[in-house]
Every structure is written in C-alpha cells, then in structure tokens.
Structure 1
Amino acid sequence: MSADSHPTLPPVRLHSDAELARDALGAPLFARAVRLARWAGPDTRVGVGGELVTAQLPEAAAVLGLDTDDADSPGYASQAWRVAVDTGLVDVTEPEEDGADGAEGDEERFGTAAPGEDLALVTGGAPGDVLDLWLAALDTVLADAAVPDLDDLVDALDAGGEIDFDRLDWNPGREADFLDGVLANLYLLTVTEGGAADEPVPLPVLAASMVVPDDMGEPTDAVLEQVSDAMMRLDDQFRQLEPIGLVEFRPVDEELMAEADGTPEPEHASTGRGEDGEDGRPVADDEDVSRYGMVRLTPLGLYGIRARMLEAGVDAPAVGELAEKGADALLDAVSFYSENAAQAEIEQWLAGREQPAAAAELLAAARGDDEGGPLRRLRCQQALAPAGPEAEPAVRSVLDDPELGGLARVWLAERGVSDVPAPDPEMVFWLTVDTIAAQLAADGETEELPLLMETLTAHHAGFFEQVWRVEHPATAYVLEAMGRLHPDRKAAKEARKAAFKARSRRPA
C-alpha cells in the first residue's frame, strides 16, 4: 500500500511513549532477552552464528527462571538469546574460523559474549530508545514466525539429511509477505470505526481475509480448505508473536483439532461469507467462534505494526500528530477522517492555542473553490463549534466573505447573537450547495441526506429555478444527487432539470 494524497488508513489512537515503553519492558520475551544480556559474561560460550552453545542452554534457562526439566525450556532460552543478540543487548565475538593462526584444527572453538552498549538504554534511555530496541526484537520474532515449524522441516529432509526446499514448498519472501498482510488486515480491523476496536478477531475471519476473493459469493470446498490451512499457520505464528507483546491470542482449541483429525472446519465459524447473518456471515455463538482462535492487537502491537507500515511508505496517521502543524494541514487531513477521529484530532490541535488566533487560522484555511473545499469548511465548522466568545471577532470578520459568510452566520446564530445581518439569497443558495457537497464528500449518500435536502430546500419557493445559477464548482454534482435522493418526487424532478441547466452553462 502506498501513500496517497490523503490517508490510506484511519488514524490510530496510540498510548504515550512512556506507557508503550513500559509495555515493551513487560513483554515476556523482551524481558528474558534483557535478563540474559545482564547474565552474559566471560564464561558465556557462543557458536559460529553467535548462538548459545547447547551446553550453556540449561544455565540460561535457569537464569530465566524456567523449569530445567521442561523439554521446551532450552528452546525458550535460545530464542531469548537470539533476540538479545539481534537487538544489540548482547555483543558477541564469534569463534575464529578453521586455519586461523594459533588454532588447533581438531579443537572445538567457542566465541564469547558480553553485555552490549544498548543494554544501558533499557534503564537509562528515553522511552523512544526502549521502543526502538523492542521494534528490533519484533523484527527478529516476525522473521522466526515466517519459518516453517520443526515438524515440517524434518518431513522435508532428503536422503542426505539436507532440507529439500521444493518439497517443503516454503518461500521466505512469500511467507513474510503473508504474515505482513495478515497483520495489516488485523490493524485495519482494529482502527476502522465500527471495526474490531477492542474486540478480538476470530481467526477464521482473519484467515478468510487473506484467502477468499472479495468477489466470491459462497466459498468452495477448495477455498475453505485453504482457509483451514491458513488458520493453522496463523495459530502457530500468533503463538510465537504473543510473548513479544504484539498480540493477545487465544489459540485454536486442541480438542477441536483432535476432533477434526488435525484440521478444523472453519465453515462452522464465521469466515466472512455465508447467508445467515445480516452481513452475510454465518451465525455462531461467541463460545463456538472462540474455539477457532481469537486474536487482538495490543496497544504495543498497534504501535509496532504502524511503525512497520510507516517504514514501508504506508500513510498510517495517528491522532495527535497534527497538533504542531498549521490549520491548512489539519483541515486537509481530517477531511478524510471519520467524524469522531476528526473531532479527536481537532481537540488536540486546539489545545494550547489562543482561541482568536486559532479561529482566524482555521477560517483562512477553509477557503477555496477546489474539490476539497466543502469538506474543509465542514471540518472548520466542527473545529469552531466548541469555541467561546473569544473567537467571535475572527468569525465576524468573514461575514461578508462569499465562501465563509454563511458558516459565520450559523456559528453566531447558534450562540444567540442578535445583530447578525441576514444573508442575501445568493449566499443562502451557495451555502446550501456547499453543505450538501460536504456531506456527500464526508459520508456519501446516507439515509439522513434526503432529509437534509428536504430541510434545506423547503423554505425557499422556486429553489430549483434559481440554484442552478450558483457559482459553485459542485452545483451540478449536488443537483444530480438531489435528483436521485430528494424524498419529494416533484422536487427530485425539478432538481434533475436544474442539474441539466447547470451542466449546460458551464464552459466546454
């Protein structure tokens, strides 16, 4: 996904860097990496790739407080060590290669390890330093999660004990892209208004988002099998991603997998397709769905996925990042936000600014006869709504402005100001066109829009006989919409005739 002239994703509400840094330090895998970095010293032995030698793993597991009798503990210790090395929490000196001066050819050689310079940032650095270390750790974990599990690797060994990659059917780039796509979809479901938000996402829904074509009606058996395979991959991958603090994850029910001979049947849960639900999804109760796995991005996970998107060139805005920018940048950006997200961004922009200056800057930025002008003025009106009497001089100064005079009158009237001059008919018609154009740009053809159209035109006799002459770039467009949506059939017909006139008077 590439950046565009407006945000490609809804803005995300992030926790503060201090809160996120605390979450990073509390992530089990990152905390283990820090603990091993502090343990590293002259007696620590590493192999040619910087990994802990097998003989050191029980001691490392004990340092981490893991059960040394548990067969999985050495693996957990090895993973934590790898994260410590990759993030710079540990510096390793690898063993010399065979044939180096002074080395015995048959003698096993080991490298050494010591705490890295970056370890001091864990306690002495700024929150941003901690988050940078965590992001480096996340890269390591994501790379590991894209590797096939051990059973698949064993199955792919050829007669000579080498991995047959053709048999394994594993493409590192493809697997990494798949996981990135899954996390991007999970991010979008979380930040989109009306999406998952704080609710966990069923694993079948996430798997289907990567497998089922958008234009497919009822999924075929072959597609459902692909969804099942994707679910199993995701189940394994999210198990690996949870310890780094990226997600909260409820795995697929082991009994369910046993019942289905290792392959769950996603059609029993919502895959995003079907006929029973209002949105076309099969109906299943919460308990049934949860058995197929549930996943949710943590606040730290939202930060991490957004950081990766930004690095890839994706426009992924965050609420509050416009606070130090001008009103022109603010209105251009929030024009494409949902109303609630726009309000949150506007409130942060207004905080700490003097109301008179802020109001004047907003009004100046709202001008313009370009396509985005109506929506900028709508957001300007939204931004000025909470302003108090201090903003009145700035608002009064634009009463005679052909583009802002209507907006100013509405603002003053809402505050009960009595000496507001009545607008001339031309301004009334212009404001009507601008208002409907803004609503169409903001929300499209909503159920409420016909009522707005009826309200705006009801008190003006001969409205459609005059409005087509309005010098507004959206006049014809608005009249065509009114011809489709106006609840009064006679008025709708008049609107269509007026739209034709408006089109005809424009220069070719």
Structure 2
Amino acid sequence: MAKSGNTGNVFDIGELRRLVDELGAGPREARAAVLEGAVADNEDCDCPSCGTDALTFPPVELSPDGELAASVLKVPLVLDAQRLAAWTGTREVSPENLLPDPFLPCAELGLPSPARLHLLWVVAVNTGMLRVSRGVAAPGPLVLSPGLPPEALLGFWDGVVMDVLDRADEGLTGSAVVDDHLAEMLATLYAVGEGLSSATLVKGILQSHEVACEARPAEMRALTVALPGELETALSLLGYCGLIEPSQAGWPRLTPLGIWAVRQDLLREGHDAPTGAEVAAFADLGAAELVDAIVKGSAAPSAVTVWLESRRPEVAARELVKVAVSGTAGLRGAVGRILEELGPEAETPLREALSEPAMWRYAASWLHIRDLPAPDLTPADSTWLTVDSLASLIHLGNVPEALCGFDALEPGEDLVRLVEEMALVDHPDTIAVLDLLGAHHSKAAVAKSARKAAMKVRSR
C-alpha cells in the first residue's frame, strides 16, 4: 500500500504473497496458524520486476455503495473534521497555514491532543471543508450531507484515508514501529477478512523489526514490553478513523469502509484485489478460455482460484493438460502455473500426461514435487524445461522477468555452461531464448555465449 512511509513490512512482500495464497477461505483458526508462522526475511532481489511485484488477494464482498456512503458520515474522524471546520469559520492562520494556537480548539472541541487536531486539520483542508489562502482559513467548497451522491461521498472517503496513511510518515499512531508497518498491517487484515488477534500482529511486527533492523537483544526486550500497548493505542486510533472494528471474536478487523478503502489503495498500486462478483464470471469458462484470458492479461490470478474451486481437481487437470499439449510455450507456462495449485487429487490426469511429448517433463516434475512415483528427469530434460520456462515468459511479453528467471533457475551454477547446454536441446523456441539472452543479459560472458550458441543452432 502506498503512502505509509514504511521502511519494513509486518510480513515482507514475498511472504505476504505466500500468505494470501494460502489463506483462501479456510477457517479462522487455520489462517491464524499460517500467519503465526510468518517471518519476514527482508532480503532484496536484483530482479528488475520485483519492485513492482503484484500481490493477489482473496476476493472480497463489498457493502453496497449506498450503505458505505451513509457510513462515511458517521465516522468519528469525519464528524470531528466537520466540527473543526465549523469552529474555524474564517480565521487567520500561521505562516505554516496552521491554527496559531492549537490548544484553544483542542479545549473547545474536546480533542485529546494537538496531534489529533493536526490530523483533523489536514483532512479538513485537503478534502475541501476548509480553504487556506493568503494567511486566512475560510469555509471550502465541500459541504458534507446525506444528499450527496454515493460516488461523491466515497471519493471523499478515499481522500480521507490517503490523508490518514500519509500521516504515518510524521507519526500517526504514536508508535514509530507501528507507523513503519501500518500499510502492510492493513493489507494483511484485508487478506484475512475475519481479523487477527493483537498478539499475532505484535508477533509479526517484532519478527520483522528484529530481522530488518538487526535489533539488539536489549532493544527487542524493550520493544516486546512496549509494543502491545502501543498497538492497542494505534488500533484505537484506526477505529476512530473508521478503518478498524472488533470482530465477533474480539479480534481487530477492517470495517466495511476499511475494506473498501484498502482495496482502492491496493488497486492503485497494481495489486490484484478483486471483488467476488468480478471473479465469479470466470468460474464457467472452459480451460482454453481461462488460459487464453490469462495469457492476454484479462484474467487476474484470483480468477484461477475461483475456476479451480468450481470443479473437481481431476476434471480441472485433465482440461488444462489438453490445452497445454497442443499449445505454445506461453500456454504451457500458464497451464503449469495453474497446475501447481492442485494437489495429489489430480494425479491421474498428470500421470496420463507422461505420454505427451510436450508435457511429460512438466508432469514428471509435478509428480516428483508431490512425492508421487514418476520417471526421473535427466539434466537434458531439466535444460529443456529451462528453455520452455523462459520461452513462456517471452510469449507473454515478460522479457525482464525472463532474464531474472534465467539467473534464478540455476543459482550458483555456471550460466555460460547452462547456455551451451540450452543450445543442444530440441526445443522450438531455443533460438528465441538464446537471442534474448544474447541481446539483453547484463553479464557480458553470458550474452556472448548465448549469441555464439544461437549461431550454432541456426547452422544446424
């Protein structure tokens, strides 16, 4: 999520990807157990696409726009911002465009601190309740009322939440550690839906802080004592802001308005955060239609989950294998990623795929990973899969990811030797892959080897 000013994550991006994939729609206890085991490793990746890596979140059900819009007018933060705007009226401000005496409005409006006043002032000014010009604050163009269209009230609410998250850079909650991880904490609560215990959230923050900041034992002991209280204070503030409420179990969870706002922020950052209605249409597609939509980019990863849940694993696998055996590397790559979501229940169609020339290596690998009997793959077979994997990314237009994938496929191995072995396998896309590496790989020796290998393949 944007605008948090965070320097770390409650759960790092890669870990959160695994978490939201595993959480699904399982029982609350199972989801909590998954999250309890999460530890942020905070390792940097050199892949050029990692900085914009998109997460896939479980589908959510949003409340109707009319209900959400009506709820906006009841948020304590919004009500107090309206009170502050009315109290201010037309008034001179300081050179910093703030109220010159913050303690006066705090006393007259019953606000707990100048920090709360500043948050309300930012919201009132940025949303148009107040307008500051030439040292004077005056009523702005925005007048909130139940008569405003739902889209206008929701647009206003979106701006309010962005202002709240922006304040994390300057100390929103009173806890520097919570502020650092606020956006990721909200995204995690969004992924879980029914909420998480405060103890689980505290554990995630502590683990992340210890790893990312290399905190010393003395610091961790002090933080372990202080953080539970700091988090409770932060959650209370987020409740005041309309984002957090207690679940039936008493755990912190997002309010309906919180779900709506966090989803807006996730979408702005390019993450896959669909509603249930958006992915429901994919359930009735055939396998070929689903794979085609994935290849064209019109189906988000969440559509795959809905599609798989709507049919038995064996049926789904058989349909997917049929698409892959006669398709390009791009189709095989898309099918392979879907098949990874299936468990041993899909063994029969994958075992049948061992007789298909273009799919048997994938099938054997799939079976091996699940500790099921399967033919052994030779080094040449593994190299063929490397070529096919890179070719699938090229077919999908993901050249940077293909280059990153090449470096990651054989960690610690001699990449020049791997290129030479790629030239020996019988694959229809060998030349395309070697041309890509020859033209774009950052290591001169690898690029040179790829160009020479491509010439040898062409000469055959």
* Smaller-chain TM-score bracket: 0.5 to 0.7
Q: Is the Cα contact below 8 Å between 1:48 and 1:94 reproduced in 2?
A: no
- 1: CA distance, partners of 2:227 / 2:290: 48
Aligned CA-pair RMSD: 5.5
**Equivalent of 1:347, from 256, 280, 289?**
280
Q: Note the 1:159-198 alignment, pairs <5 A.
A: 182-192=181-191, 195=192, 197-198=194-195
- 2: CA distance, partners of 1:50 / 1:369: 50
Q: Note the 1:46-445 alignment, pairs <5 A.
A: 46-54=93-101, 57=104, 66=110, 72=112, 80-95=120-135, 111=136, 113-119=137-143, 122-144=145-167, 146-147=169-170, 182-192=181-191, 195=192, 197-202=194-199, 203-213=201-211, 220=217, 222-228=219-225, 230-231=227-228, 233-248=230-245, 295-311=252-268, 314-320=269-275, 345-348=278-281, 363-364=288-289, 366-367=291-292, 379=304, 382=307, 407=319, 441-442=337-338, 444=340
- 2: CA distance, partners of 1:470 / 1:369: 23
Q: Is the Cα contact below 8 Å between 2:294 and 2:334 reproduced in 1?
A: no
- 1: CA distance, partners of 2:294 / 2:265: 37
Q: CA deviation at 1:244?
A: 1.5
Where 1:213 maps in the other structure, the secondary structure is helix
Where does the alignment leave 5 or more consecutive residues of structure 2 unmatched? 1-12, 14-48, 385-423, 431-460
Partner of 1:400: none
Q: CA deviation at 1:227?
A: 4.4
TM-score, normalised to structure 2's length? 0.52
TM-score, normalised to structure 1's length? 0.48
CA distance 1:144–1:238, shift in 2 (3 Å): farther
**Structure number with higher relative contact order (C-alpha < 8 Å, ≥ 6 residues apart):** 2
Partner of 2:30: none
Q: CA deviation at 1:427?
A: 6.5
- 1: CA distance, partners of 2:172 / 2:53: 41
Q: Is the Cα contact below 8 Å between 1:145 and 1:240 reproduced in 2?
A: no
Q: Deviations over 1:317-369 (max 9, x none)?
A: 3324xxxxxxxxxxxxxxxxxxxx6xx5432568xxxxxxx868x85454599
Q: CA deviation at 1:16?
A: 3.7
Q: Deviations over 1:404-444 (max 9, x none)?
A: 9x749xxxxxxxxxxxxxxxxx979959xx9x998863474
Q: CA deviation at 1:30?
A: 0.9
Q: CA deviation at 1:27?
A: 1.0
- 2: CA distance, partners of 1:54 / 1:359: 63
Q: CA deviation at 1:211?
A: 1.0
**Which structure: greater helix fraction?**
2
Of all paired residues, the percent bearing the same amino acid is 22
Q: Which amino acid aligns with 2:72?
A: A
Q: Is the Cα contact below 8 Å between 2:168 and 2:179 reproduced in 1?
A: no
Partner of 1:336: none
Where does the alignment leave 5 or more consecutive residues of structure 1 unmatched? 96-110, 153-169, 251-285, 321-340, 351-357, 387-403, 409-425
Q: Is the Cα contact below 8 Å between 1:207 and 1:227 reproduced in 2?
A: no
* Matched length: 329
CA distance 1:208–1:134, shift in 2 (3 Å): same
Larger Rg: 1 or 2?
Answer: 1
Q: Deviations over 1:388-409 (max 9, x none)?
A: xxxxxxxxxxxxxxxx9x749x
Q: CA deviation at 1:383?
A: 8.4
Where 1:118 maps in the other structure, the secondary structure is coil
Q: Deviations over 1:183-208 (max 9, x none)?
A: 3332342243xx46334443422422
Q: CA deviation at 1:8?
A: 1.6
Q: Is the Cα contact below 8 Å between 2:130 and 2:139 reproduced in 1?
A: yes
CA distance 1:368–1:146, shift in 2 (3 Å): closer
Q: Which amino acid aligns with 2:195?
A: D
- 1: CA distance, partners of 2:306 / 2:236: 47
CA distance 1:189–1:210, shift in 2 (3 Å): same
Residue 452, structure 1, aligned to residue 346, structure 2: yes
Residue 20, structure 1, aligned to residue 18, structure 2: no
Q: Deviations over 1:1-47 (max 9, x none)?
A: 778898423145233433332232211011121233345545x5544
- 1: CA distance, partners of 2:119 / 2:376: 68
Q: Is the Cα contact below 8 Å between 1:141 and 1:240 reproduced in 2?
A: no
- 2: CA distance, partners of 1:75 / 1:379: 45
Q: Is the Cα contact below 8 Å between 1:186 and 1:206 reproduced in 2?
A: no
CA distance 1:41–1:237, shift in 2 (3 Å): same
- 2: CA distance, partners of 1:12 / 1:368: 18
